[in-house]
Amino acid sequence: MNLKRIFSKTPMSRSSRAYDFALDTVLSLPPEGRILEIGTGQGFSAAYLSRRLPQAHIIALDVTYECFKGDELEFGPRKPDFLQASAPQLPLESASCDAVLLVMTFHCLPEPQEVIREAARVLKPGGSLLIADVNGHHWIARPFEWVEHLGISPLTHAYTPEEIRALTEAAGLRDFRIHWRPGKEGGFMMWVRAQRPK
Three-state SS at 56: coil
pTM score of the predicted model:
0.90
Q: What pLDDT was estimated at residue 12?
A: 42
Side chain identity, residue 33: G
Each residue's pLDDT expressed in tens, for the chain with a length of 198 residues = 444 443 444 434 456 888 999 999 999 999 999 999 999 888 899 999 999 999 999 999 998 877 777 778 899 999 999 999 999 999 999 999 999 999 999 999 989 999 999 999 999 999 999 999 999 999 999 999 999 899 878 889 999 999 999 999 999 999 999 999 999 888 999 999 999 999
In what order do the strands lie in the sheet containing 97-103? 81-84, 57-62, 34-38, 97-103, 123-134, 189-195, 174-179
Residue ranges per domain, the chain? Answer: 3-29+87-193
The sign of the dihedral angle between the CA atoms of 173, 176, 182, 183 is positive
Q: What pLDDT was estimated at residue 13?
A: 45
Side chain identity, residue 112: P
CA dist., res. 21 & res. 181, Å (int): 8
Specify the CATH number of the domain 3-29+87-193: 3.40.50.150
CA dist., res. 87 & res. 39, Å (int): 8
Task: Specify the pairing of strand 189-195 against strand 123-134.
Answer: antiparallel
CA dist., res. 189 & res. 192, Å (int): 10
Q: What pLDDT was estimated at residue 11?
A: 39
